[in-house]
Homo-oligomer: A and B are copies of this chain.
């Protein structure tokens, strides 16, 4: 995970913005310090030389993108913590240059024929931590953290229309986001929690029992953690480790649902601990001590 957080943006009067990293804790504390190639340059004597060099680097990068006949590439904004695809738009040369310098996901609005920084109206910016090009260099991922819901409808992401649901005439209460496995499971556990407010019939599900009985829940979490450890201690096979880790995750997620904590918050903790706050081990040792 590269990161743009501490990259110092230099805005040039020309249409191209350039930047250089100063005190970039994010990138360098997790990377072999000998690899700080660009920082070497940042210590050059003349600022104007640096600026020229940097401007030329950005221009070379922009030249290397395979813009289509109209000057566009596809831009996809993805949540750096959850992996959720937030939105997709089109990016031109200026939009990419602006995103690099501002670290806010910027697109070109084809309907308004203008640069468009997501959030300029709603204030729900997407704070870009990293940018990736695909193998053909005509598709771009903005890996970032959204300040709030991305979709103009107020939905967390723009992808809430399921094709199978459309084909089955299924009515869905509220938006049903495109969710990957962990977040689908989180949603199901939340639904079970919400259902507890309704009159209960029949035997409660296992998830509901765990949600209601905190002693049971905690004893299961401790038991599953122990079983995960025993797959190592007793040299059990990999499938057993994966299965026990699944149990740990599921039961811990039920506890998080009880506490009202989202997985995204946990991932944010891990990102800040391991990638933004310096040296992973020091932090972790601090936590663990």
What residues of chain A have their CB less than 8 Å away from a CB belonging to chain B? 1-4, 7, 19, 21, 27, 30, 35, 37-38, 54, 57-58, 61, 64, 74, 76, 78-85, 87-88, 100, 130-137, 139, 141, 143, 151-153, 155, 158-171, 176, 178-182, 184-185, 188, 205-208, 214, 217-218, 220-222, 224-226, 228-229, 231-233, 238, 241-243, 245-250, 252, 255-256, 258-261, 265-271, 273-275, 280-282, 284-285, 287-288
Cβ–Cβ contact B233 & A218, under 8 A: yes
| A281 CB contacts on chain B under 8 angstroms | 205-208
Cβ–Cβ contact B61 & A88, under 8 A: no
CB distance from A266 to the nearest CB of B (A): 5
A58/B167 contact (C-beta < 8 A), A158-B135, A218-B229, A241-B255 known: yes
Closest to A204 in B: B281
| A188 CB contacts on chain B under 8 angstroms | 30, 274, 280
Cβ–Cβ contact A259 & B232, under 8 A: yes
- Is chain A's interface secondary structure helix, strand, loop, or mixed overall? helix
Cβ–Cβ contact A88 & B74, under 8 A: yes
A232/B252 contact (C-beta < 8 A), A37-B168, A167-B61, A288-B220 known: no
CB distance from A86 to the nearest CB of B (A): 10
> How far is A30 from B153 in the complex, measured between Cα atoms in Å?
27
Cβ–Cβ contact B232 & A245, under 8 A: no
> Among the listed B76, B252, B284, which residue makes an inter-chain contact with A85, where contact means beta carbons less than 8 Å apart?
B76
| A79 CB contacts on chain B under 8 angstroms | 180
CB distance from A178 to the nearest CB of B (A): 4
> Among the listed B3, B141, B152, B273, which residue makes an inter-chain contact with A159, where contact means beta carbons less than 8 Å apart?
B141
CB distance from A33 to the nearest CB of B (A): 13
Contacts A35-B171, A74-B74, A242-B268 known; list 18 others, CB within 8 Å: A1-B179, A35-B170, A37-B169, A37-B171, A38-B170, A82-B83, A130-B162, A130-B164, A135-B158, A180-B267, A185-B270, A185-B274, A188-B280, A242-B261, A243-B287, A245-B252, A247-B288, A249-B270
Closest to A217 in B: B232
| A61 CB contacts on chain B under 8 angstroms | 163, 166-167
